[in-house]
Structure formats: C-alpha cells, structure tokens
Structure 1
C-alpha cells in the first residue's frame, strides 16, 4: 500500500532529473560552442537530440565547434550549478539551524547602520548637519548579526557588561577594537600587556599615550606621575580613595566587618589630613606606622575638621588591642604603597609630566592602567586613578550641557581583579547618560558577585543596557537563568498514523527553550549572545581586530611592541650587574638560599 503511494512521486522525480540533465547538456554545450567561436546555434530541444548525442557525439549537434569546447561548456555549467547549489544549501542550513525566537534584523533596526547613525546625530551635536558619517562616529561596534549580518552597534549612551571565559575573545574581539575605534579619550585597565601592545602605536597617532605601569606589566619606563591625594581635599574624595584600597583586599563589599569599616574611616581621615595639610604619601605611611603621632589630628583641627579630628583621636586613644587592629588593617590595605617602585608613580616629580584627569577627558589621549592581581598588587591605586578619571568625565559632561562629545571610552578589563571600584554598579547608568561608555569585562557572573556582592552584581546587571555573553560560561544556575530570559518558542511535532484507510499526518505543538542551558554554555568561540534593552536576545559574531581591513600595519606594530617589551623585560630581569639572564637567575637563587639560611638561624 505504502509503496504504491510513492510510485507516482518516483516517476515525477525521475522525469525531472532527466529533464535537468538534458537541459544542462543542451545549454552547456551550446554555450561552450558559442565561446569557442562556433556561434549561437542550439540544437532542437527534443529527446531525439539527447539520443543523437549519445550515439554520434557532439559533432552532429554542433558541427562547427570542437568537442573539447562543447565538453568544457557542459562541465562548466554543471560545476557552476553545483557550486551555487552548495552555497544556497549552506545558507539554508545555517538559517534552519539558527534557533527560532531570537531577534532578527527588523527588531534590531535601531542598532543597524541607519538606525544607529540617526541615534548618533541625536546624541552628538557635533554630527548634526553632516550627511556622511564614518561608522565609528555613530556607535560602538558589537559584531555581526548571525548568520549574515548586518553589523550591530551600541549607542554612545549605552553601558556594557561582558561575561566570557578566558580565551573566548574578550581582548581580540572587544577590548582591542574598542580602543582602536574610540573617538574620544580612552581609559583601559588590564593585568596583561596584550591590548596595550596591539593598540599603543595606533593610539599615538590620535593623541598622547599615558602608561601607568607601576608593577612593570609592560616594563615601560616611568614617564608620568599622578597626584593620588588630588581629590582628597573633601571628605567624599578621601572616603572614595580609602574605599578603593579597602576593596583591593576585601573580597566581598557586601560583607565588611568591623575592622574593614574602621580601617576605611581611619584612612579617610588620614587622606584628608594629608591632602589639606600638603603632606605626602610617605608622611601618611609614617602616620600609619606610629598611631601615637598626633600630626594628622592637628592638621585636621587646623582646617576646622574638628569632628573628623576627634574621631581619629578617639581611635588612637581607644583600647590598645582595638587601635592596633584597626591600624594594622589599614596598613594592609595600603601595603602596596610601601613599594618604592609603586609609590614613585603617585608622588610629585618635577622631571616628569603630571597626569591630570580633568584635562585627559577632553582630549583624544589614551590612559593605560596596568597592574598585577593577587598579593602585592597596585589594584587600589589603579581603581583610584580610574575612578578619578571617570568622575572627571562626569564633571566635564555637566559643563558641556550633559554629555561628552566626543564620548569617552572606558574599558575595564579584569575589573574584578585590578579595578575594584566599590560603587561601580551604582554609577553604571549615570556614566551612560554622560557620554562615558563603560565596558566591564568579567570571566563570570560569580566573579563579579565575589567583588560587589550579589546585590551589587544584580544592580550592575540591571543597569547595563548592553550585555554580551560569550563562550565558556560554566555557572549552571546563571546559564539556566539566561535560558529563561531568552524565552521559549513553539515547536511543531509531526505524528504519522497508518491504517487500512491510508496514512494520516497530524501536528502538535509544545514550548521548548529557544536556547537550552547546554547550548548557551557551548557557544562557539567568537560568538556571543546579545542582550540589549527593549529587544529580544540575538546571536552575534564578534569581529576580531586581526580580521578587519587594515590589520596588517597594526599587526606589524604589535609585533614590534612585543619585541620591545621583551627586550625591556630581559634588561629589567637581568639587572645592571648581570651579564645575562642566566647570571640573574643564579644570583636570585643564591640570594634566596641565603635568606632561607638566615631565617633558619
């Protein structure tokens, strides 16, 4: 019964195949004959023509053409048809394999080239009246919409949060392109020199490059200094700076114990006294080393900060165990300033230019903030300078009428390790409204929760108008939540039933996740799930800098910069008294053995 139903379709299929085969031979042979100079003389389109070709060859049908030319025409035509068919099949398969329920071109029109250009004219007064705009003047490149584009960009009032595992494309697909394409001032934090090496030469063409590298990440010589006490003339500024140092040693801002809170209050008073009393950072460290030193109390009283002076004096006069515990916690928070190599970057130096955040935000200059993570890092200093620069951008925006033009770009790479700004989640939406494009790069949602707490990370997640989720997210609970946010779609399931009367087909519908948790976790490298405010999620393909037009000169400059970093690192490692790296290693090993012996004695 079933075979008899398929027989008519089999006949149609065979007849169609024969027609396509004969038509291809007829047309290909005629084209081949015409191209070889025999003219356009097609034979009759009949079944007898095909029989003649099989029995007598091409000479009977195209007498003035060579057999080679006719055969080449036939083969070429069938090859072209097969190639077009393969390409079309790939496009169809890619379209069919794309999860249903994700946003498409129409829903993302405001992020497509025309929509984002119109938005840029509204946000940037300097662009009004200009007919043609460079794409980088209209917004920040995110990537290409899967499967076939177009490119998508965020506006200059969007703030972004990107979560991707290591080596999933954060640097090559996000950090480097943002720095290279930035229209205004740039701020970048990192614990590696890769983004710096790729972008430094290009940014030098745009403006001055400031490199703040107190721990020798890129082994750059010290060519700048920043007055760390410049914003500590007010209680708010002093408290913010103290908070950055506290955050660098406190793993969870939502769990401040007594010692952490008391240490922050003490550091606030000391920073304020040093700034208003025109003391140095070294003086402040001396005050911390000797709690009985009354100098900071007297300085606070001299500037009529009586309440702050009394509070600090109360801490000093308290129980010895409590006082020593508070001061020891405070000393641990600013322990990085005990390193002369670090403190030299934040104390006045008449032989080097001073970095001034309020001037930087009005230029097209670039500030690289590099620091190691872990013990002994300069994370507190890095966070303080980054915060001072972004707050300077807010002040400049207010003077401009509300928004920076051109906008400022702040890429906070490894923000959870080297740039722990305690109230960053609360400032996120505020930065966006001021034309400060903040991009925070984290390895996972949980990493951010450890730094800002669950409430803080939830606030940052909610405030970010653009969120990119890349490959390698292994937090099962978080990925399951994302799957629910992406939503569900109707899936049609066919059912076939057979009976004596024939075969019947019916369909049922069920709701399935658009992107199950396992598919989100297994996103290929170089792709990301885009969550933009007001539209359904979309799947995009990141655009690494090395695949863009003009990447050749940038790559060559990057290689030269890496070679220079390597040379500086070798010189720094070897030291002036060593003849080579081996001598330096041997010297350090001997010193280590000597130290161990003295400790044992």
Structure 2
C-alpha cells in the first residue's frame, strides 16, 4: 500500500553518511588551507592533527590554536582558493559523467556517432570521393569538405553537409536565415556563387570578401543596394529554342501567378504567346524593345513572319491563330501577357537586359566555371523584377548543369546557389523537379522560405511536397506557426519510451516499480518554440538532430568582415542619398 512520505523515509538513512561526508570535505579543505597558510607565513609545513578538537577550532575561528602565528583570514582564504582551483576539474568531471549518462539513455535524437558522414574523417572521405581535385591533397580545409550547418547540441561537434546535398530551410523572419545560413555559405563557398534576395544585408557583409577571390556581379535593377549598373545580361540569348523560350516565359508568368500549379486559360495562353514572341525575337536578333512593341499591337504580323523565316512554321501558325481569334479573346491574352512582363516597361529595369557596348556582358556559361559571385536583388510586390531575377537564376543553374555534364557529371569546384526569398523574388516554377538531380551535378542549392505554406502558395501542394521530399537536408528554425506542418514534423521526429517510477510501502518494506509510455521526442509546441539561432536538422538516412547555427559574427575573422561591412553600408547610404537628391532635382526642376 502506498503511503505519503514513503519516498522521504526511504532516503532518510542516507542523511547520516551524507552529513559525515560534508564535514569530511570541510575538514580536509581547512586542513590543507591552514597548512599552506603556515608555509606562506614562514612557519613551515604544519599539518593539523585529524582530531575532533582540531576540527572544532577550525570551524569556530580559533585557528591560531592549531597554527600559532597564522592569521585566521589566511587559513580561510587559502581554503577558498583551493575550492576555486578545484572547481574547474570538478566541472569537467561532472560534464563527463553527464555525457556518459546521456549515452546510456534511450536514443531519441541523433548523436555524433550516427552523423559520421557529417563530421571528421567520414566527411573528408566523402569530399575526396565527390571532388577529384581533392584526392591527392594531403590535408583538406574544413570548407573543402562541405557546407557548414552548425554544431550538434549541446556541445558539438561541427556538422557539415556534402556538396552533393540540396537543402531546404524553413524559418520565420529574423530567425537567423541571413546571419546563420546565407552569409556563412557565401563567405565559405569554394566555387561560383549565386545569391537571390530582396534585401541588401547579405550583399553588404559578403561583397568585399568575395571580391578577394573572384569578380563580383551585382544585378540590381530596382536599386536595392543602390549600385550603379556595371553589367548587362542578354535575356533573349537562351530563347533560341522552344524549351528556353518557354522557361523564360514561365518565369514571368510565375511572378504574377500565386500558384504555378493552377493556371487558368488566360495565364496558360499568355505563356504560349510570350514563348512565341521570345523565340521570334531571339531567332531574329531583335531586342526586348521590339518584343514590347509586338505585345502592344496584337495585329503586328512581324513576329509571325520572323518565325516562318526561322523555319518555326508550327509556332508561327499557333501565334497566328491567337492573333486571328475573337478580338475579345485575343486582347485578353495579350493584356495578360503584357501584365506578366510589365516590369520591362521601366527603362531602368530594361537597361539591365539590353545590350550595352560600354559595359561587360554577364555570361552564365563562364560564371559557373570560376569563383565569381552573382548577386540578384529585387523588391517584392507590384513592379518587381522577380520574373527577370528568376530567369537569370534559372539560366545560371542550367549553365552549371551543362558544365557539369562536360566535366564528367559533376562541377569541381561546386557551385553554391542560395535562393533566399525564393517564394517572392525567384519563383522557378519547376524548382521541385530540379532538386532531384542538382546535387548530383555538384550544384549545392539552398532554398530559404519563411514557412511551408509559403512554398505551397508558389508551387502548390504537390510541388511543395516534391521539394520537401527531394531535399536531402532540411533545417527547421524558429517561429514555425503552421500547426498542421509542425504536427507533421513532430510525427516525423518520432516517439520514445519514457519511464515513470512509482513507490509503494508495505509491512515487507518499500518497493519501486517502473512503467513506460510513448511520448513524442519533440512535441509540436517545442518545435514551434525553438530558440532563435537553433534548428531541427532532418538529413536523409539519419535520425533528426538539434543543431545550433553558427552566425558569421562569431567566427574568428568577424572583426575584419564587420569593418568591411560598415564600409560597404556607408557606401550604400551615400549612394542612396545621391539618388534621393537626383530624384528631387528631377521632380522640382
């Protein structure tokens, strides 16, 4: 029968040896402290006798009875010093015991022995296997072996994914996406870099560092960082095939269509029309200005004739069918197409995708072979250049795939593509399909989203499920508020056995029994409440793990990078002020 107080009575006999042990520790500390104090005062080594009378004198302050001529404060000071000196080894001992006890607990989240492919020699062996250029090097730097993910909680080690992995990161705003993921990846990338963003923070911190290893290209048509235009990209260059033209048209359509998996008649027809016009312009050497004029006048037969001259009769017939259709239908299709490319009506955006003999041309096929960096910056919302940004990002990724095939299947060094704000400024409609093979090409892609639902809004439920499944590395950070998704993650993390002890007391004595029940390793509320700077790691083939992100400002060279970032920020501020004055003077004459 259970009885209140049974547990306390069971441990009552331990109070006597515990009290004796405490007194023994105090006695030993005072004994050693007095002996050392005697030496320090010139009285020589005078250990006190192990008697009750000596102990009584020590604890009552009458230490001079034991060590004549030695001030009591020196005895107690020496004892305190011994406590302080012994605290560090004691802490290490306790830490080791705690770690040993943790290893004996039932397994729930992954530990370092299960993540051997992300640490130490296992990670290095994998890097040598994937990159032929590393096989004969005696030693490899950490950045050559993979992408830094963070440190396994609670005390390490450092975890890195391989350059064969493709990554999907879901984190709320200000949860560490830029400081803990995007910026470190750009700074540590061994090869070419592609970054998309709607802010200038990553650009500000990393531009000067990347300029030390290669050329920096900044595609900033809407003045996110207020950079002067020092490049141009031939948007129509890759539209000489139907596939290339349709892909570019799809990027412009996706920039105005919230769910690429749901295209109504007007959206689908507008994409077909833009495909034909892009193809006609590319094959004939026409400019984007010509394309805009064709869109403005549906009755203009020029693109139809150009397609026929290029031997694209079927495409010409399709475009002619659209032009000859009912006026209301034709005008609706063309108006939808005009809305999709409306950003090109801005002459400042148009200049970035039009030939300029005074500026260097950005050539994706050359970019992916070196260590250059491309920043693609665009605003959200209406008037954004998201379609252009997505088109250029997709062109670079496809150029990397072609280069990898020419190298035997994999880029070496690998290219790093960081698609920050991928749902807003870089809506590549078939990104879920690309994820399935980009890693095997040596293209390390990181897609950053604020939530799972944000991805559903862009790619639809099937597309987002495909992206989730294809990502070999998934990081789930702080602030995930989608209850259904978080509950799904909690089920993926799994359950473990939790033991509950119960005690009963009878005339035969006290007995203890343990019962077990299944509980979730990380309930949904704990996943939602992950602290800022931490993340749940879901890697293919291993248990989930909790990691601590390692922000760039905690690295050894952070001071130097921070100084360069301040210089860059001042330059952006100066350019912003100059732009403001320019607009004011233009407005008021």
TM class by shorter chain equals: over 0.9
User: Which structure 1 residue ranges, 5 or more long, are not aligned?
Assistant: 579-583, 592-601
Query: Pairwise mapping of residues 328-477 of structure 1 onto structure 2 (< 5 A)?
Result: 328-477=335-484
Aligned-partner Cα distance in 2 for 1:196–1:386: 16
Residue 114 of structure 1 and its aligned partner are, at CA, apart by 2.2
Residue 213 of structure 1 and its aligned partner are, at CA, apart by 0.1
1:145 aligns with 2:152: yes
Query: Pairwise mapping of residues 163-242 of structure 1 onto structure 2 (< 5 A)?
Result: 163-242=170-249
Which secondary structure state, in structure 2, belongs to the residue aligned with residue 249 of structure 1? coil
1:8 aligns with 2:50: no
**What is the aligned partner in structure 1 of residue 31 from structure 2?**
26
1:312 aligns with 2:319: yes
Residue 229 of structure 1 and its aligned partner are, at CA, apart by 0.5
1:73 aligns with 2:78: yes
Distance 1:296 1:77, change over 3 A: same
Which secondary structure state, in structure 2, belongs to the residue aligned with residue 575 of structure 1? helix
Aligned-partner Cα distance in 2 for 1:453–1:167: 25
Which of 546, 560, 563 aligns to 2:570? It is: 563
1:42 aligns with 2:47: yes
Aligned-partner Cα distance in 2 for 1:577–1:477: 50
Query: For 1:87-110, what per-residue CA distance to the aligned partner results, in whole angstroms no more than 9, with x for missing partners?
Result: 776888898799960000100111
Residue 38 of structure 1 and its aligned partner are, at CA, apart by 5.3
Q: Which moved more, 1:245-254 or 1:3-12?
A: 3-12
Distance 1:566 1:508, change over 3 A: same
Query: Pairwise mapping of residues 253-292 of structure 1 onto structure 2 (< 5 A)?
Result: 253-292=260-299
Q: Which moved more, 1:323-332 or 1:34-43?
A: 34-43
Aligned-partner Cα distance in 1 for 2:417–2:33: 60
**What is the aligned partner in structure 1 of residue 169 from structure 2?**
162
**What is the aligned partner in structure 2 of residue 529 from structure 1?**
536
- Cα contact 1:32–1:74 (8 A) shared by 2: no
Q: Which moved more, 1:228-237 or 1:43-52?
A: 43-52
Residue 36 of structure 1 and its aligned partner are, at CA, apart by 6.0
Aligned-partner Cα distance in 2 for 1:4–1:299: 97
- Cα contact 1:156–1:407 (8 A) shared by 2: yes
Aligned-partner Cα distance in 2 for 1:410–1:181: 12
- Cα contact 2:271–2:337 (8 A) shared by 1: yes
Query: For 1:438-475, what per-residue CA distance to the aligned partner results, in whole angstroms no more than 9, with x for missing partners?
Result: 00000000000100111111111011000000000000
Aligned length: 582
Residue 351 of structure 1 and its aligned partner are, at CA, apart by 0.4
Distance 1:60 1:454, change over 3 A: same
**What is the aligned partner in structure 1 of residue 301 from structure 2?**
294
- Cα contact 1:412–1:438 (8 A) shared by 2: yes
Aligned-partner Cα distance in 1 for 2:9–2:365: 84
Aligned-partner Cα distance in 2 for 1:39–1:529: 60
Aligned-partner Cα distance in 1 for 2:61–2:126: 69
- Cα contact 1:498–1:504 (8 A) shared by 2: yes
Aligned-partner Cα distance in 2 for 1:55–1:333: 89
Distance 1:523 1:92, change over 3 A: farther
